[in-house]
Structure 1
Amino acid sequence: MRHELLIDGFVITSDNSAAIGEKLQDVVYAPDSITAKFAARVALLEQWAAGSEPQAVLLHNFSGVEQWNAYLAGLTELFAEAETVLPPISGSTETNMPTLQSGIAVTMIGKQNRDLAPAESLRWFVYGVPLVGEEVLTKTDQIADLGLIRKAFDSAVIERIWPVGSKGIAQEAALLMDRHVEVSADLDLNCSGGPATCVLLGVNPANKERAQRYFGKNLFLMEFK
């Protein structure tokens, strides 16, 4: 669930993950570095959605001291994939109590540096496919590519981005437009987007065909009614 906070031009975003990792009682097994990468992915995409770039990252590690380096590696990998600078990272680790399941939270503090076009003025697409659980690990070719998104921003192929969360594409479209909307696309509109495996992209109408060529088969046109 999105809980973005805006204070005097600073944007604070966060995401967390529980019972996903390498502990015996975790519900979903995943390498700790991957768990951290996808938690940070959501926070980074929410920064971009607000027209912001992260200036600092806080890592909250409830899993134990042994997991810190793996979590740090996941954050480093994420920013490398996004082809953007890794900000300074600080945080804390639970060392007093052993935990039976993994737990991590990532908070990013950023500064707005991009003007946002009104949502109603853009053509909107879904980029990537909504995936959850094990699908995130097995269907990586269907996940929105952060590096492509970053380049699309920098070359004005896209104007805005909006990550899809656990309530699905239809709910995020309503939040984006700030009103009830009926939307159609060649995807499951109510399926959870998991760790933002898909995103909504706002495109200047003049760049519609350019965006379709750029993103290829994992780009789906949205129609609003």
Structure 2
Amino acid sequence: MNDHLKLKDVLNSRVTSKVLADPIKPLPPYGLERSEVDEWLSSAGQAPFHHQAERSHKASLSSPVPWRMYKFDALNCRELLTYLNENTDAGKICNMLAASEAMVLATWTPDAANDDLSENILFEGTERNMEHVAAASAAVQNLLLLATEAGWRTYWSTGGVLRTPQIFNRYNISNSEILLGAIFIYPQDVGDAEIRKGKLCDARGNVSDWSRWVTN
């Protein structure tokens, strides 16, 4: 959708856009092809990773990378929207699905936890797990940038109801994986749908506010 941009331009033009449409009257599909999303993910998957996912995570998707991506096209998004409207209170997730051209549920693959781990702790705070999360996050950022380069709006959501066993089971996602984010992809033209930018968009400061050269 856009002329080719330099990487620096893509980085500076990427913004968080939460698009909220009427869940009773969702936007019609805009025309994003599955093949284009697959092309983005093929490149996004070049993110670095230091450790392989454990063998138990390779049952249905066999790659050693410590992330998994579950892809929804516009029709799948609307089908999920209908299901959520009929079965649960999903809040703004329904508004976002009503506007989405595509959504990717990005999970990461934690190492098996010790038996004595508290039930309230999702995973062990090990260096390997930290690196799994970092690698999966790099893949997600790559996806956001590639979609931005192609001229689409994006939003990285924590997922809300989409991270529950109810949804994982419905779409055959292993409950041993953890949702890192639901990546919503929207067209530039969203009609009269509401667009909200990220709450912290203007709070990051200048590079001197979060970096410094070390000295001897």
TM bucket normalised to smaller: under 0.3
**Larger RCO: Structure 1 or Structure 2 (Cα < 8 Å, ≥ 6 residues apart)?**
2
Larger Rg: 2
User: Which one has the bigger strand percentage?
Assistant: 1
